Amino acid sequence: MEQYIAESGNVPPGNAPGEKKWQTRRVRRARPEIKLTPGKGIEDLTCSVEDLVDRVVKDNKVVAFIKGTRTKPECGFSYQVLTLLNKSQVDYEVVNVLDEVHNPGVRDAVKNYSQWPTIPQVFVDGELIGGADIVTEMDDKGELVNVLTAATAKS
């Protein structure tokens, strides 16, 4: 900057006092993951874990069952799915299947519910669209953003 000022006699564009163009923006906090129970244990549930999974899938337009959290996925496939969902810029929910305190038994329950053997799993409008491989394939074909946008646009 000093060299620029010495050569031109002016402050470089965007560096003048009061310049608003280069202001830092506050980073929005990530939404928390869905917790299916208050964390007291599976014995305190008044319904089955499968019923809780069904309710989450049906009550949310887009929901991803992943290993880890939005901000800290714990496997590469979950990271891949979150990256694609974030890229689409639609609202979505996340359930951490590894959280045995708040989501006891969800990892197996969601596999039984969907009849799909792997995690992550992405549901749109109450239906499984697939895991990381299928979501990636849909993105490559340009289909993912259309499916997600159509689902979130419905009231």
> How confident is the model over 67-91, as a mean pLDDT?
95
pTM score, whole prediction = 0.80
- What's the mean per-residue pLDDT of the chain? 88
pLDDT over 90 for what percent of the chain?
63
pLDDT value for 25: 63
Q: Is the pLDDT of residue 65 over 90?
A: yes
30-153 carries CATH number 3.40.50.720: no
79: which 2 tokens?
A: 């990271």
Task: State the pLDDT at residue 40.
Answer: 74
If one compares 63 and 29, the residue with the highest pLDDT of the two is: 63
- Give the model's pLDDT for residue 8: 85
Mean pLDDT over 81-88 rounds to 95
Give the pLDDT band of residue 145 (cuts 50, 70, 90).
very high
**pLDDT level of residue 94 (50, 70, 90 thresholds):** very high
More confident site: 40 or 27: 40
Alpha helices, DSSP H, located in 1-155? 2-8, 49-59, 76-88, 106-114, 132-140, 144-153
Annotated domain spans of the chain: 30-153
89-93 long-range Cβ contacts below 8 angstroms, 24+ apart: 90/62, 90/145, 90/148, 90/149, 90/151, 90/152, 91/61, 91/62, 91/152, 92/60, 92/61, 92/62, 92/63, 92/64, 92/148, 93/31, 93/33, 93/34, 93/56, 93/60, 93/62, 93/63, 93/64
